[in-house]
Structure 1
């Protein structure tokens, strides 16, 4: 019966995610997704949609009233990032945020050293991240399909590590950060066009609640 309920939760979560009620905001959706799914559903949905960022954020969800509290805080943070870092693509997902930078904003072609413009953009992002200290940040590096698998994997890891190092140098606590490189394995755009390849060369930030934020949200609901 427990397995059946979990399976049903995953199906309901996926149905909600892909066909859900258009009139609901991200905070409301986050509360429902978190209640119905959790880590198992996040993994399944992430694989099904080809979007590991989506799966990771759903997997970290608390759900229910606490999820709604977290969602409201994430709404505010996402608005501040979008306002202060106009070169970034900001998306609210469930109880988290995905911030995407095209690599041509952060790096020169086939390079892993940050450009001057990159540092300017990251400095703006750091201001907001430091204002919301009770969050965890996963930094994901991605490439297009040009070059070998091994080369692209290494480049994606180097870029994620470079960004992480810059953030810690600007005061972001190291224990808030997690680094992953995916090389060319998770394209979000078409690799058979120049524009698609440019967009696939990207760095994504997955922002989720840490344990303190979750505990505070639970406490707020209880009180």
Structure 2
């Protein structure tokens, strides 16, 4: 990399870090946002790696170097920050447990009743998800369909499996490597609320996308 490019990258890193600050609502003090900082550092570091390469090799370096350079925790922090930003206001929940991310997609916004074709108005949401997943290639993805306990169990297992496959297949069409995706249908076996109420059954009808760091 030539000296001018190095200088530009260094200035970019400093500017990015300066922008990664938030106000602590409890103390009133300015503090660095961890997730934003990791994302900024990752972007600049990956840019440094790929700056002297051809355009294709530079893109691949930028896509793949995050988990190696920043560590799994930082890599997942940056991915979480992007997903929360992209999915704000969509109805999709982003949950974090250690180095695992879970996206909870309620059935009422993803599919019509008793159908496994994705609703047209949910495509933009999945486009946003796939955009982030495409960049963070050092992860494996489990797509799981769930139903409530109403109806025949065999029917529910089949429906939940087809819904999981629909989501995974769509992500694949948007550039997410099929080899990173696993699907399963759990039917009514893993409720997160009581099936005795309509509100509980609505919560149980969902598709979950589990994101974990790939083991290398």
TM range (shorter): 0.5 to 0.7
Aligned to 1:211: 215
Q: Offset of 1:69 from its aligned partner?
A: 2.7
Q: Pick from 128, 148, 163: which aligns with 2:132? A: 128
From 99, 115, 138, the equivalent of 2:103 is 99
Q: Deviations 1:184-221 (Å, cap 9, x if unpaired)? A: 01101111111111110000011011134xxxxxxxxx
Aligned to 1:47: none
Structure 1 residue 128: Cα displacement: 0.7
1:127 and 1:77 mapped to 2: Cα distance?
11
Q: 2:176 corresponds to which residue? A: 172
Q: How does 1:149-164 map to 2 (within 5 A)?
A: 149-164=153-168
Partner of 1:195: 199
Aligned ranges for residues 2-81 of structure 1 at < 5 Å?
Answer: 69-81=71-83
TM-score by length of 1: 0.63
CA distance in 2 between counterparts of 1:196 and 1:131 reads 35
CA RMSD between the two structures:
1.6
Q: Is the 8 A contact 1:71 1:96 kept in 2?
A: no
Higher relative contact order (CA 8 A, sep 6+): 1
Q: Structure 2: where are the runs of 5+ without partners? A: 1-33, 35-67
Runs of 4+ in 1 over 4 A off after TM superposition: none
- Say which SS state the counterpart of residue 211 (structure 1) adopts: coil
Question: How many residues align structurally?
Answer: 147
Q: Deviations over 1:93-112 (max 9, x none)?
A: 11110111001111001110
Q: Please, which runs of 5 or more residues in structure 1 have no aligned partner?
A: 1-26, 28-65, 213-223
